Structure 1
Amino acid sequence: MKLFLTIGVSKAPPLSHLPGAITVAREMGDWARNSGFITEVITDENKNPVTIGRIRETLLGMLPANDQVELFILHFAGHGFRSGAEQNTWLPSDWHKEMRAISVEGLKRQLYRHGIKSLSIFGDACRSLPTDIDTADIFGDPVLPRGPYDAVAPIIDRINAVGDGQQAYMLKGDGVAPPRCVFSTVLIEGLCGLKDEAFDKHNPDCVIPESLALFSRDRLKEIGETYDLKCSPDYATGIPREHAIYFRRGENPADIPIPQWPAPPSPLVHAPDNNGEDLQASPLDIKFRAFKQHFRDSLSLHSYLAPRSLNLAIRGAVPKKIWSTFPVEKILTNADEAAYRVRGITDSAIQILVEFDDGVFASAVVYEDLITLISRDENGEINWTCVSRWSEFTDGLNTSINVIKDLQAGNLSADQVDDITAKLREAKHINPTLGAIASYLYDYTGDIDSIRRMAFFYCIYAQPMPFDVAFMGLLSTKDMGRGAIVADVPPIPARQQSLANGRLPEWVTRATDGGMGQVAGLWPWLRQGWQFMEDPAPQEKAAAKGLRDVAKFLLPSQFSSFREQGARILIDRFHLEARE
């Protein structure tokens, strides 16, 4: 059984009208039906808005209750934005009114429970950061309820119109050709076998995920030159290479009409050079310099405090209270900085909430043998990281700062996930926040095994693993009482080698044994993890207990922070006390 769902949203007020989304949704649907897919097309034609409820109803009608799906393709054309590390959000028609949007990662994870062997996700939407706090505060809806099967990650292929943090394009119609979204039209050319360049070099009769991705990359360069656009698609394809075949010569119909492209503007009107310093990224750079200085100023405490005397430093605002289940001792307080000693048991990790005078609560985890640094800038953005107490902490801090900057700016590219996560994992024990970020990058490509390999190494080094690693790795968890959660890590076979991952370190691809380890923290470290608290898998229920109602009180920082109502739920649920 092969399934295909295409969603085209042309009207998502107050954002611009995108009639090209309807054009490409229709053409995608025609290709899928002609290729033997059970096909559904959802658009907002005839004043019929695209809502999350409508998508949910359509999906539930498509997905079988007792049959396996060989290939499921999900395509979207419309508006979207990025909500975290490789976390994508698609906007339905009523997103602005309902303050809910489609969480692509949440929906993908729900599809794990529907017996799907191969899942292809084609996203033709912008992936830039939200431009205002209202957009940043929109909750990502996973769309589907829990499915009939245990969660098993399929082989996943992701092809997006643009890289993280960038804008997608639509061309207006010209009276001959209709308006059309650029990326989806290129996909149609490849999926329909209309271009020889879309066929696989090793199997020249087939269009497969990798050959479609490579064709899209080269074709979009050509289209970009024609229409004076900067097109840079983003892709990550699964292995083995031929796990999915989109088109095969002799089996698919050959009479599919060639998509008509609008005539290019003549003469071309060149847009300003977006590589200069006038980019929208400039305010981010200014903001980030303050954040970087906050972290470095926090480390200046190290120069006049004994290394063993502190394991928590806060810069940018002095807390009103610190909530914890363990004692907290104040060591130093200045105008906008403070240092503390959180006293726990050896090899433990303590969940804390930091309450500020304006009712904002920052979340962080303090390790017994590391220093947790929390930074709050003048705009209220909260970040935190960990460093070693000893001489190597400066290099570790530089790595952490650069990773968090890339996380915020959208520079963590899907086609470099393996390389990026390997670098993050090298320092994940000095700074466990890097392990948490790596878990979301692996999840983007459906690489659950790599998250579990990472969890194994936390176990053998007897260091509590970040909550996000345990949760994104779909690990079975057990609540041991008094805030102690342990995770069961299953044995994982060696990863299949490919040309792309042949240069990775052995510890990234090796087989790992099973183990059991403590979970660090009582809730997600990163904001993007909260979308998975609404409907956890059965093995995750112990860790997610009591967290569902907190998500609506999240603040838009990358790391978890809360309005007072949400923090009070956590304080009551986990019996936290005001320790300072």
Structure 2
Amino acid sequence: MPSDAASEGSPVPPDQRMVAFAIGVGDAERLPFLAGAHNGARGFHAWAIASGYESRLVIDDNAPVTFPRLKAELEAVLAPGSGPIHRMLLYFAGHGLIREAEEGLWLLSHWYSELRAVAVEVLRRRLYMHGIRQIGIFADACRSLPPDVDALDLTADAVLGRGPRKPEGTPALDKFIAAQDGTATFAVPGASPDDDRCLFSGVLLEALWGTKPSAFSQILPGKITSSSLGKYLTTEVPALSNRYGMQVVPTAVPAFPEGDNYYFGVGPALLPPEFPPWPPAQELRSVPQQVLRLDSPKSAQGLSEKGVSQQELGLESARDPSVKEKLSMEKRLHDLHAPTHFETRAGFAVEGARVAALWTPPDAFAEAQHGEACWWRVGERNGFVLRKPVPVLVELADGTCVATTALPEFIGSILCEDFGSSALVYRAVGELSASEAAVKALGRLERGELRASAVLDEAVNLRQEKHVDPVLGAVSAYLYDAIGDLDSIRRIAWAYHKKHQAIPYDVALLAQIEAHVGSDGLLRVDIPAVPAREPRTVKEERFPWTHQATPPARAVVAGFWPLLRQGWAFLDDPGLATPELLELTSHLTRARFSTLHREGARRLSTLFGLQRHAR
């Protein structure tokens, strides 16, 4: 993690702006009202104004916070001619979700009727195209998902369209998130709703205003920096939540550069507001805290009163003993019935759905094997054995198609549920079972247990077996992207090239590198050189490949679209995808791995000239 800087002055050029957005959604449809969300946003806005930021307050006290409203507010600040932005802070308080690999979602006022949520990571990437040097994200919202919350079928919306310029490097990123995946945060009620305080926001604001000595840098007297703020939050928030019988463990990933990472101590002198003491726990026993999550007892009660069951909205809670628990992802993947080899040395085994056909490019073929409609080998028409990655559509009996890639020397096992592919694991030809690391990773992905707080070590764990199962490389790339670590994603891409393996499309996409299609029909990218850096954790220190320099390289990409559904939201980044591919995003089902409805699959097959191979 970055250390405190030794510089005393602010390096922000005088002609560049410091802007902030304080978003508070307390009145989201069909969910408990959160007065604390409004209060937190007002408090952050007041601090930003006093600290010299150009700040906007966007809350739903008098009017709902809708996508058009939020977009208009953002575009007004980002408008050409308004001046370059050095630092932008985004604060959000309200209801939220975490989906897949660090796919954070914020719920606006009309989330239920629109079935739409703010895609936090994609919004961050869109801001890259506006020349912003630093982006800070403060989120006081739940990050847990009940087991089948995908039934909500929320569309992840980035709010902003493509920006005016190609990203010039990656902005520095600070992230301070109220709760880890799988947990909720909460608000402590005051004497009136105007006094309700979201616990994380309350602790944060006490620090930002300079009222807490433990939030100050130990190296720079009088300064609060990214790293000192992060250390303070990860210590103080859990301690205060324990007082109320809760467990809130925030995530802090401070990465603003040394000498330009100040939140207090540079700029105008601040006169802090009066913060009342946090009430004793016994005073709150008869007053329920507001829990900022969808599957809280309070929200479930409110839904049932409106005649909407939890099951209808996919809000079943694993804590409810009346809910029949389905088999775990790990158990289902361990039980997959798949061959150990195909003569073509590539293919797929599908369980949970009947396969009607496979679609491949004209120079490849697919055949059902051994009387099994769900075992298919994939090869090349000239040479039989598959020697290059091949895009494949697996057409299911209901007309939906799993959009995936056949890889030389790998057999892919696809687990299907109601809406398509919930899991995909690759294993080398000849191996009896899938990688245990891949099985466990997908199980944790389904349960929302890939911890943002330990993203660096989580990504290292996944990367160790990325050559055994390319899905692991893709998931680790999403984790790195969530903290803006572009260099680590490019190191992953280079490692696949060095191992003579094609780069998973998701990795190439998140690496933000240019691509072109060669005369052989393969997609290739030019991987830039990456400089060496110091290891950030003890685990990184053990593995030099996490921080070593890598040279430039030209490498082959596996397939022409993302393996995971969440990758489609990034397809408008320049360099890798075509506009026609981006248009198919609306045809995706809610499945975790890319699955298209019938019309979307038809258009995709036409776009890439795929041919159908029925059994």
> Which of 194, 214, 217 is the equivalent residue of 2:234?
217
The separation in 2 between residues aligned to 1:234 and 1:156, in whole angstroms, is: 13
User: AA paired with 2:73?
Assistant: T
> Which deviates the most, 204-213 or 187-196?
204-213
User: AA paired with 2:441?
Assistant: V
Deviations 1:307-328 (A, max 9, x none): 7665322223330111111201
Q: Do the aligned partners of 2:211 and 2:272 also contact (CA within 8 Å) in 1?
A: no
Distance 1:226 1:378, change over 3 A: same
Deviations 1:433-457 (A, max 9, x none): 1111111111000011111111112
Deviations 1:511-554 (A, max 9, x none): 11111111111111101111123xx23323xx234122222222
Distance 1:425 1:206, change over 3 A: same
Aligned partner of residue 246 in structure 1, secondary structure:
strand
- Alignment RMSD, CA only? 2.7
Deviations 1:469-514 (A, max 9, x none): 1111111011336853211111111124445675241111111111
Counterpart in 2 of 1:443?
481
The separation in 2 between residues aligned to 1:120 and 1:89, in whole angstroms, is: 16
Counterpart in 1 of 2:8?
none
Instruction: Give, in angstroms, the shift of residue 382 of structure 1.
Output: 2.6
Distance 1:310 1:471, change over 3 A: closer
Q: Do the aligned partners of 2:346 and 2:386 also contact (CA within 8 Å) in 1?
A: no
Instruction: Give, in angstroms, the shift of residue 195 of structure 1.
Output: 0.8
Instruction: Give, in angstroms, the shift of residue 266 of structure 1.
Output: 3.6
Deviations 1:109-164 (A, max 9, x none): 01111222221101111112267667642111111122233213111111111112
Instruction: Give, in angstroms, the shift of residue 264 of structure 1.
Output: 3.7
The separation in 1 between residues aligned to 2:608 and 2:318, in whole angstroms, is: 47
Counterpart in 2 of 1:371?
411
> Which of 60, 84, 88 is the equivalent residue of 1:72?
88
Q: Do the aligned partners of 2:52 and 2:267 also contact (CA within 8 Å) in 1?
A: no
Counterpart in 2 of 1:258?
275
Q: Do the aligned partners of 1:294 and 1:315 also contact (CA within 8 Å) in 2?
A: no
Aligned partner of residue 358 in structure 2, secondary structure:
strand
> Which deviates the most, 493-502 or 122-131?
493-502
2:585 is equivalent to residue 551 of structure 1: yes
Deviations 1:352-396 (A, max 9, x none): 1111112232222111111111122478653111111235x64x5
Structure 2 stretches lacking a partner, 5+ long? 1-16, 290-295, 297-316
> Which of 33, 50, 54 is the equivalent residue of 2:65?
50
Aligned partner of residue 338 in structure 1, secondary structure:
strand
> Which of 398, 413, 427 is the equivalent residue of 2:451?
413
Counterpart in 1 of 2:497?
459
Q: Do the aligned partners of 2:344 and 2:386 also contact (CA within 8 Å) in 1?
A: no
Distance 1:285 1:199, change over 3 A: farther
The separation in 1 between residues aligned to 2:515 and 2:400, in whole angstroms, is: 30
Counterpart in 2 of 1:390?
430
The separation in 2 between residues aligned to 1:431 and 1:148, in whole angstroms, is: 37
2:507 is equivalent to residue 491 of structure 1: no
Q: Do the aligned partners of 2:52 and 2:268 also contact (CA within 8 Å) in 1?
A: no
The separation in 2 between residues aligned to 1:109 and 1:27, in whole angstroms, is: 27
Counterpart in 2 of 1:432?
470
Distance 1:314 1:134, change over 3 A: closer
Distance 1:429 1:365, change over 3 A: same
The separation in 1 between residues aligned to 2:180 and 2:324, in whole angstroms, is: 20
Distance 1:413 1:283, change over 3 A: farther
2:219 is equivalent to residue 202 of structure 1: yes
Instruction: Give, in angstroms, the shift of residue 465 of structure 1.
Output: 0.8
Q: Do the aligned partners of 1:124 and 1:160 also contact (CA within 8 Å) in 2?
A: yes
Distance 1:243 1:283, change over 3 A: farther
Counterpart in 2 of 1:121?
137
Instruction: Give, in angstroms, the shift of residue 346 of structure 1.
Output: 5.1
Distance 1:161 1:20, change over 3 A: same
User: AA paired with 2:132?
Assistant: I
Aligned partner of residue 557 in structure 1, secondary structure:
coil
2:41 is equivalent to residue 41 of structure 1: no
Deviations 1:78-112 (A, max 9, x none): 11111220110101111222222211011100111
User: AA paired with 2:54?
Assistant: I
The separation in 1 between residues aligned to 2:479 and 2:112, in whole angstroms, is: 28
Distance 1:260 1:548, change over 3 A: farther
Q: Do the aligned partners of 1:208 and 1:242 also contact (CA within 8 Å) in 2?
A: no
Q: Percent identity?
A: 31
The separation in 1 between residues aligned to 2:558 and 2:416, in whole angstroms, is: 22
Instruction: Give, in angstroms, the shift of residue 262 of structure 1.
Output: 5.3
Alignment of 1:14-25 (within 5 A): 14-25=30-41
Instruction: Give, in angstroms, the shift of residue 338 of structure 1.
Output: 2.8
The separation in 2 between residues aligned to 1:308 and 1:576, in whole angstroms, is: 19
Alignment of 1:286-305 (within 5 A): 286-295=327-336, 297-298=337-338, 301-302=339-340
Counterpart in 2 of 1:539?
575
The separation in 2 between residues aligned to 1:424 and 1:171, in whole angstroms, is: 38
Instruction: Give, in angstroms, the shift of residue 427 of structure 1.
Output: 1.6
Q: Do the aligned partners of 1:90 and 1:103 also contact (CA within 8 Å) in 2?
A: yes
> Which deviates the most, 106-115 or 130-139?
130-139
Instruction: Give, in angstroms, the shift of residue 265 of structure 1.
Output: 4.1
2:596 is equivalent to residue 562 of structure 1: yes
2:125 is equivalent to residue 89 of structure 1: no
Distance 1:356 1:402, change over 3 A: same
User: AA paired with 2:574?
Assistant: P
Distance 1:570 1:12, change over 3 A: same
> Which deviates the most, 24-33 or 421-430?
421-430
The separation in 1 between residues aligned to 2:66 and 2:147, in whole angstroms, is: 23
The separation in 2 between residues aligned to 1:341 and 1:550, in whole angstroms, is: 27
The separation in 1 between residues aligned to 2:54 and 2:428, in whole angstroms, is: 55
Q: Do the aligned partners of 1:464 and 1:520 also contact (CA within 8 Å) in 2?
A: yes
The separation in 2 between residues aligned to 1:131 and 1:96, in whole angstroms, is: 19
2:330 is equivalent to residue 313 of structure 1: no
Q: Do the aligned partners of 2:97 and 2:105 also contact (CA within 8 Å) in 1?
A: yes
Distance 1:514 1:289, change over 3 A: closer
User: AA paired with 1:374?
Assistant: I
The separation in 1 between residues aligned to 2:121 and 2:570, in whole angstroms, is: 9
User: AA paired with 2:238?
Assistant: K
The separation in 2 between residues aligned to 1:241 and 1:280, in whole angstroms, is: 47
The separation in 1 between residues aligned to 2:152 and 2:250, in whole angstroms, is: 24
Q: Do the aligned partners of 1:133 and 1:556 also contact (CA within 8 Å) in 2?
A: no
